[in-house]
Amino acid sequence: MGEQTIEADVVVVGGGNAALCAALVARESGVSVTVLESAPVEYRGGNSRHTRNMRCMHETPTNVLTDAYIEDEYFSDLLRVTEGNTAENLARLVIRDSPQAIQWMKSYGVRFQPSLEGTLHLSRTNAFFLGGGKALMNAYYAAAHQRGIRVLYNAEVTELHIRDGKFKSGRLLLNGQPAEFRAKALVAASGGFESNLEWLEEVWGEAARNFIIRGTPYNKGKLIKLLMGQGAESVGDPKQCHAVAVDGRAPKFDGGIVTRLDCLPLGIVVNKRAERFYDEGQDLWPKRYAIWGRLVAEQADQIAWSIIDSKVMGRFMPSVFPPIPAASIRDLALALALPAQDLEATVREFNLAVRPGRFDHQILDDCRTEGLNPPKSHWAQAIDLAPFYGYPLRPGITFTYLGVKVNERAEVQGLGSRTNVFAAGEIMAGNVVGKGYLAGLGMTIGVVFGRIAGREAARAAAQ
Amino acid sequence: MQPLSNLIAEGERLMVICNACRYCEGYCAVFPAMERRLNFSETDLNYLANLCHNCAECYYSCQYAPPHEFAVNVPQVFAQIRARSYQNYAWPGFVRVGAWWAVTAGIIVAAWLAGARSAAGANFYAVISHEAMVATFAFVSAFILAAYVAGFLRFWRESGESLARFFQPSTLLQAARDALWLKNLDSHGVGCTYPNQQHSQARRRFHHCTFYGFLLCLASTTVAAAYHSIFGWQAPHAYFSVPVVLGTLGGIGLLIGPVGLYWLKRRRDTAIVDIKQDSMDMSFLALLFLTSLTGLLLLALRETTAMGTLLRIHLGIVLGLFLTLPYGKFVHGIYRSAALVRSVLEASRGKD
């Protein structure tokens, strides 16, 4: 049997939000579209299947967004978290197009929910997908199916042939069999490299072995490497990633939302020497939770423990694994395999430093420590009410920043002028958010640039 | 069936995962009810499982559905817990009544009541006397009613709520609307993901045909009974009389509804259901359909000599249906409705 050759006007590599937006938009103009998704059908959708919302500009309340969130506020939020690491023209493009993006998504059967009790209080800035990211992806795939877009699963691109900026053909493994694909335009929307363990180890050394990948195991960053090998300009710090502290018992991949822990600011966090190492009450949790991945990664063996007492049970979102209980701090230390005397000393010292105040975990309250290093600036309460509880913590990677540089037409830069290679989604998100993160921005970048890439790829294919 | 403790442990495992995720909170009443809890006891799971309408939308949207190692399949596990709960709540105790056995018994009773009598010209009471008919069905109905009331009380007692709260008008009205409109199978206007992942109103519509068809038949019988006892107007009634029109419309509903539900069942995604309940579901659908079919035939042929035989068969099947009611699929309506009342009550009070 001869080798299979896949041909289409536009080939989209990737199977998440940005990829499907590009495919659907390209198909609107009548060109033939094939999607190459490296995951099997059950795991299609990349990290989008773990998402829940997208950040949207709006000048008046809508049925899914409260109050108003105007362009300037959105952009200043972005400037603040990225510390200026953003291409303003691309960022403003994303922000301005976000209201139309929502309407366009609805026209393809995507449903949003009126926000109920979102844990991070995002109903003003973020529109929530009804049922979450997998429901979103199901809607896109159903629409793609109806419109005659061909989707190939277990399709992993291995080579790209680009000459003078023009993509002609590439090679892939389709269900493990080598095959060839040809297209008049190519959209790269295949995510970052956060699940490529060898690559992570190259960047972070052996510490990376203890990292947990919160999302899909299929984001290997292959296309980033292939495009950079063909001269594409890169963007984003290859040594940076977005990481939060997740439950140390989480699965290596795909644990998603349920492994996050929101109890850190309500107690103390210690490393394997039973020492505190950072101010747990520095700022409101939604603003601080993303620094704890790095903080834990810096500790010996990349592990830490959140320690709380019975007073705060029920005051944070439940997580999937139960806390480890103990009747005393000593017993807790034994249960967590921490040095018992050191943990007792750390808790005693902390408890003595706590100043009286009015505890309120919803605001920056006045419960703080005095004379302690590091201090705990808010929500400091003595850990003295048994039973005591511990949660193991590991760094959980959400995404990586390294990607390819694009312009306003989503053309990949560095391949040649007027290239027929476009990029959308996490693979180019570093253009807009080169550092830090704003909740829900990744999905907005995916929709806006997915649509741009789809439109431009269809145009290039028609020429 | 798997041991109860395994089933409850599995239900608890799933709810802990779901409660840490909460992406499905916009779908139906189950997830907001879950969010009002931190722990999931057997009674909590019985309640949540009976609140679940088995639409499976949460399954298709679940990032943790199999083959993910968390293997979250709420509709299937809840279906199993639900089936168990029907047995737990059954009064005085659970008895499995097979449809064929029940129909045979029903026809034997009807034949015994009729003896060798025959009659023509739609003179039903010449075949089986009005008194015999009323006595038989009154006895069976009283038992069914007692079983339902007792089952309901057992379910409700687990909620820890007083009976007065159940009858609180605003709560009851809201829950009745949710039940009668099948709001939880509507998914905000697009219908449920049954028999497959595509949203569809088919199940809701066929259920409406079945349920309202059943109600119309009940109304027809009630009106006819009132005609007889209050006004002395005896059957047969004219084709365009109130009881016959109600019965005919109800009968048509009971033909379309069960056939439609069966047709959907044949096409459903078996990943989300408890296959073991099929015989219970199918008996119920079959008996409803046969009740209606023989009833309509009896109406059409009531002037012919076939009337006597058809009457025996029809009443036998109705009796058979009634015998299966206390411990069959019908009970889902009792516990589902009570669970809906409880959920409205909880929601109106906010978090526990």
Please give the ipTM for the structure prediction.
0.94
Q: Do A256 and B64 touch (CB under 8 A)?
A: yes
Asked if A251 and A195 count as a contact pair (C-beta separation under 8 A), the reply is no
Task: Give the mutation candidate from B13, B17, B22, B23 for the A interface (greatest A CB count, under 10 A).
Answer: B23
Of the candidates B320, B327, B322, the one whose C-alpha atom is nearest the C-alpha of residue B103 is: B320
Single out the residue in B88, B111, B133 at which a domain terminates: B88
- Nearest to residue B337, comparing CAs of B191, B183, B190, B200? B183
Q: What count of Cα atoms within 13 Å lies in the side-chain half-sphere of residue B239?
A: 7
Distance (Å, rounded) from C-alpha B300 to C-alpha A170? 71
The DSSP bridge partners found for residue B113 are none
The C-alpha atoms of residue A157 and residue A145 are separated, in whole angstroms, by 22
Q: Can you list the alpha helix ranges (DSSP code H) found in A3-147?
A: 17-28, 71-82, 88-107, 133-146
Q: Tell me, what DSSP letter sits at residue A127?
A: E
CB contact (8 A) between residue A134 and residue B67 = no
Nearest CB among B20, B26, B198 relative to A116 is that of B26
Tokens of A208: 């990376």
Q: State how far the Cα of B326 lies from the Cα of B315, in Å rounded to an integer.
A: 18
Q: What span, in angstroms and rounded, lies between the C-alpha atoms of B121 and A289?
A: 83
Which tokens in the block code for residue A324? 């480890």
Q: How many CA atoms lie within 13 A of A31 on its CB side?
A: 29
Chain A positions touching B64 (Cβ under 8 A) are: 256, 258
CA gap A329, B256 in Å, rounded: 66
User: What is the C-alpha to C-alpha distance for residues A46 and A216, in angstroms, rounded to an integer?
Assistant: 6
B307 — pLDDT class (breaks 50, 70, 90): very high
- Give me the residue from B23, B27, B198 closest to A142, CB to CB: B198
C-beta separation of A309 from A384 below 8 A: yes
Residues B80 and B104 in one domain: no
Give me the total of CB pairs closer than 8 Å, taking one residue from chain A and one from chain B: 75
Same domain, B146 and B265: yes
Q: Name every chain A residue with its beta carbon within 8 A of the beta carbon of B22.
A: 119
From chain B, the residues in CB contact with A317 under 8 A are 20
The CATH topology of domain A244-396 is Flavocytochrome C3; Chain A, domain 1 (3.90.700)
The pLDDT of residue A47:
97
Residues of B whose CB is below 8 A from A140: none
Question: Which uninterrupted H or E stretch holds A55?
Answer: strand A53-55
Strands (E), A224-326: 234-235, 241-247, 268-271, 304-309, 324-326
- In sequence order, what E strands does A133-256 have? 150-152, 155-163, 166-174, 177-188, 212-213, 234-235, 241-247
Of A318, A287, A306, the closest CA to residue A347 belongs to A306
Give residue ranges of A with CB < 8 Å to any B CB. 42, 49-50, 52, 111, 113-114, 116-117, 119, 128, 130-135, 138, 142, 251, 254, 256-258, 314, 317-320, 322
Say if residue B10 is in the same domain as residue B54: yes
CA atoms within 13 A on the CB side of B204: 20
| Contact call for residues A14 and A443 (beta carbons, < 8 A) | no
- pLDDT at position B5 is 84
- The pLDDT score that the predictor gives to residue A1 is 60
Here the tokens at position A356 are 């009286």
Mean pLDDT for all residues in chain B = 94
Query: Which is it for strands A53-55 and A33-36: parallel, antiparallel or unpaired?
Result: unpaired
**Can you tell me the distance from the alpha carbon of B330 to that of B340, in angstroms, rounded to the nearest whole number?**
16
Question: Of A34, A9, A97, A23, whose CA–CA distance to A450 is shortest?
Answer: A23
Same domain as B132, residue B62: no
Whether residue B309 sits in one domain with residue B238: yes
| Interface contact flag, A318 B32, Cβ < 8 Å | no
Q: Does B345 touch chain A (CB under 8 A)?
A: no
Angle, CA of A390, A393 and A394, to the nearest 5°? 165
Is a pLDDT exceeding 90 seen at residue B220? yes
Burial of A300 (0-12, 13-18, 19+ CB in 10 A): exposed
Question: What DSSP string describes A360-407?
Answer: -TTS--S--BSS-SS---SS-----SSSEEEEEEEEEEEEE--EE-B-
Instruction: Please report, for residues B50, B92, B166, the alpha-carbon distance to residue B86 in angstroms, rounded to integers and kept in the order given.
Output: 9, 12, 20
Contact A116 B63 (CB under 8 A): no
Of B22, B54, B88, the position where a domain reaches its end is: B88
Q: What is the pLDDT of residue A116?
A: 57
| B157 contacts chain A (CB < 8 A) | no
Interface with chain A: mutation pick from B63, B200, B352, highest number of A CBs within 10 Å: B63
pLDDT at B352: 45
Evaluate whether A222 touches A194 at the Cβ level (below 8 Å): no
Q: Could you tell me if A124 and A66 are in contact, meaning their C-beta atoms sit under 8 angstroms apart? A: yes
Element (H, E) at A330: helix A329-336
DSSP A77: H
In the sheet that holds A53-55, the strands lie side by side as A53-55, A126-129, A112-113
- A279, A241, A298, A261: which is closest to A436 by C-alpha? A241
User: Quick one: closest CA in B to A64, which residue?
Assistant: B26
> Is the Cβ pair A131, B35 closer than 8 Å?
no
Confidence band (pLDDT; 50, 70, 90) for B235?
Answer: confident
Partners of residue B14 on adjacent β-strands: none
Residue B249 shares a structural domain with residue B343: yes
For A52, the closest of B23, B65, B188 (CB atoms) is B23
Rg (CA), chain A: 24
Q: How close, in Å, is residue A320 to chain B by CA atoms?
A: 5
Within the 18-47 window of chain B, which residues sit less than 8 Å (CB to CB) from chain A?
A: 19-27, 32, 35, 38
For residue B75, give both structure tokens.
């509709």
Tens of pLDDT, residue by residue over B109-161, are 999 998 888 887 888 999 999 999 999 999 999 999 999 999 999 999 999 99
3-state secondary structure of A113: strand
Enumerate residues 6+ apart whose C-beta is below 8 A from A276: A268, A269, A270, A346, A350, A374
Please answer yes or no on whether A128 and B26 come within 8 Å at the CB atom.
Answer: yes
The C-alpha atoms of residue B323 and residue B105 are separated, in whole angstroms, by 9
Contact at 8 Å (CB) between A18 and A190? no
Q: What is the 3-state secondary structure (H, E, C) of A203-214?
A: HHHHHHHHCEEC
Share of chain B above pLDDT 70, in %: 98
* Residue B270 and residue B165 share a domain: yes
Q: How many domains does chain B have?
A: 2
- Please enumerate, as own/partner, the contacts of A323-331 that have beta carbons within 8 Å and a separation of 24 or more: A323/A263, A323/A389, A323/A390, A323/A391, A324/A389, A324/A390, A324/A391, A324/A392, A325/A387, A325/A388, A325/A389, A326/A387, A326/A388, A326/A389, A326/A390, A327/A386, A327/A387, A327/A388, A328/A386, A328/A388, A329/A383, A329/A388, A331/A388
In order along its 463 residues, chain A shows pLDDT tens digits of 679 999 999 999 999 999 999 999 999 999 999 999 999 999 999 999 999 999 999 998 888 888 899 999 999 999 999 999 999 999 999 999 999 999 999 999 999 997 655 444 678 899 999 999 999 999 999 999 999 999 999 999 999 999 999 999 999 999 999 999 999 999 999 999 999 999 999 999 999 999 999 999 999 999 999 999 999 999 998 888 899 999 999 999 999 999 999 999 999 999 999 999 999 999 988 888 889 999 999 999 999 999 999 999 989 998 999 999 999 999 999 999 999 999 999 999 999 999 999 999 889 999 999 999 999 999 999 999 999 999 999 999 999 999 999 999 999 999 998 999 999 999 999 999 998 899 999 999 999 999 999 999 999 999 8
B66, B88, B110 - which closes a domain: B88
Beta bridge partners of A276: A270
- Co-location of B215 and B269 in the same domain: yes
Looking at the fold, whether B95 and B79 belong to one and the same domain comes out as no
Provide the H-helix boundaries in chain B.
4-21, 30-35, 42-51, 57-60, 74-89, 99-114, 124-127, 130-159, 163-166, 169-181, 202-226, 242-267, 278-300, 307-324, 331-349
Number of Cβ within 10 Å of residue A113's Cβ equals 23
pLDDT value of residue A285? 87
In a mutational test of the B interface, the residue from A120, A130, A136 whose CB has the highest number of chain B CBs within 10 Å is A130
Q: Would you state the torsion angle of the CA atoms of residues A37, A39, A41, A42, taken in this order, to the nearest 10 degrees? A: -150
Searching chain B, which residue's CA lies closest to the CA of residue A110? B190
Structure tokens at B32: 């907001």
Token reading at A411: 């053309």
Asked if A50's CB is within 8 angstroms of B63's CB, the reply is: yes
How far apart are the C-alpha atoms of B103 and B322, rounded to whole Å?
Answer: 9
Contacts of residue B63 in chain A, CB cutoff 8 Å?
49-50, 132-134, 254, 256-257
Q: Is A94 helix (H, G, I), strand (E, B) or coil?
A: helix
Let me know whether B14 and B148 are in one domain: no
Q: Which CATH class is domain A5-238+401-462?
A: alpha beta
Q: Note whether B211 and B331 are same-domain residues.
A: yes
Closest B-chain CA to A113: B26
Kindly state whether B9 is in contact with chain A, defined as any CB-CB distance less than 8 angstroms: no
Contact criterion met (CB below 8 Å) for B55 and B31: no
pLDDT at A390: 98
Is the distance from CB of A200 to CB of A268 less than 8 angstroms? no
To 10 degrees, what angle do helices B74-89 and B331-349 make? 110
The residue segments making up the domain with residue B42 are 4-88
Q: Are residues B181 and B227 in the same domain?
A: yes
- Interchain proximity A257–B16, CB inside 8 Å: no
